[in-house]
Amino acid sequence: MIRRELVNARGNRTQSEVAEVLGITQKYLSKIGIRQRTPSANLLAKFAEYYKRPLDVLFPNVFLLSNTPNRRNKCANHSIHQPSAK
């Protein structure tokens, strides 16, 4: 599965161009784009700065509540309730 927003954010720049700016190899950038690798926190910050987009947009699978181990169990076992309007 592809990280569509990350690939779209690159626009018409090559993977090699972006990788050089981020200080990584083109191969590593490619693996990040197809979700075979998840970047470190430092590299995530570089992506957000370079693309001027929030990380939850570029890497939605990393920042979903259901992907958080403690939340995964809670979400599966309990429904999340909205406060009632008064």
Domains of the chain listed by start with CATH number: 4-77 (1.10.260)
Percent over 90 (pLDDT), the chain: 67
pTM: 0.72
> What distance in Å separates the CA atoms of residue 85 and residue 52, rounded to the nearest whole number?
36
Query: Whose structure tokens read 């569509």?
Result: 4
At 1, is the pLDDT very low, low, confident or very high (cuts 50, 70, 90)? confident
Quote the tokens at residue 82.
């909205």
Q: What is the mean pLDDT of residues 20-24?
A: 98
Residue 50 has pLDDT above 90, yes or no: yes
Task: Say which residue, 27 or 1, is predicted with more confidence.
Answer: 27
